[in-house]
Structure 1
Amino acid sequence: MFDPKKLEQIAKQIHDSMPTPVKELGADVDQKVRQVIQGQLNKLDVVSREEFDVQTQVLMRTREKLTAMEQKLTELEDKLAEK
C-alpha cells in the first residue's frame, strides 16, 4: 500500500539523524527502523491512491446524476406550475 521508495527514504533520514554509536550497530538498526515505520503506517486508517481515485470517479458520476435529476425535477415543477 505504501511506496517502498518513500519508506526507504524515511528510514534513511531517521538513520542519518541517529547518533554515531547507534548507527554503528549496523543493519539491525536499519531493519528495526523500517519495521517500526511500516508497522505504524499499517495502523493508519488510510486507503490506497487507486481506491481513492476510484471513489473520486464514483462521486463525480453520482454528482452528475444528482445534478441531472435536480434539473428534471425543476422542469417538472415548472410544468406543473403552468397548469
Structure 2
Amino acid sequence: MMDRQDIDQIALRLVSLVPPGLAQAQQDLRANFQDVLAQGLRRLDLVTREEFEVQSQVLARTRAKVDELEQRVAELEAVVSARGS
C-alpha cells in the first residue's frame, strides 16, 4: 500500500502543475491533495505486501498439494485400469 511519503510525492507533482500566479494557494492545494489522495486510498480494498506474500505462499502450497493429488489419482486410475484388463 502507498505510504505517506508516496502520497506527499503525488501531491507535490499535482501542486507543480498549478500556474505560478496561484503560488500563494499552493500550500493549501498541497494539503487538500494529500487529504483527498489519502481518503481515496483508504476507500480501496487493498492488502499489505506482507498479506499478499502470505497468501502467495498459501496458494503455492495448495497448488503443490493439488498437483500431488492429481498425480496420485492418475496412479490409482492406472492400477484400477490394469486390474480390469
Flag whether TM exceeds 0.5 (same fold).
Answer: yes
After superposition, where does 1:1-83 map in structure 2 within 5 Å? 1-83=1-83
Distance apart, 1:3 and its partner CA: 2.0
Contact 2:15 2:26 in 1 (8 A): no
3-state DSSP of counterpart to 2:25: coil
Structure 1 unaligned residues grouped into runs of 5+: none
Supply the distance in 1 between the matched residues of 2:26 and 2:15 (Cα, whole angstroms): 10
Supply the distance in 1 between the matched residues of 2:44 and 2:23 (Cα, whole angstroms): 28
Supply the distance in 1 between the matched residues of 2:12 and 2:53 (Cα, whole angstroms): 30
Distance apart, 1:40 and its partner CA: 0.9
* Identity fraction in percent: 36
Distance apart, 1:22 and its partner CA: 3.2
Q: Count residues with an aligned counterpart.
A: 83
Supply the distance in 2 between the matched residues of 1:64 and 1:79 (Cα, whole angstroms): 23
Contact 1:7 1:37 in 2 (8 A): yes
Whose relative contact order is higher, 1 or 2, with alpha carbons under 8 Å and at least 6 apart? 2
In the superposition, the TM-score normalised over structure 2's length comes to 0.85
Deviation sequence 1:19-64 (CA, Å, 0-9, x none):
2243312533221110011011111222122111111111110000
The Cα RMSD (Å) is 1.5
Structure 2 unaligned residues grouped into runs of 5+: none
Supply the distance in 2 between the matched residues of 1:23 and 1:51 (Cα, whole angstroms): 41
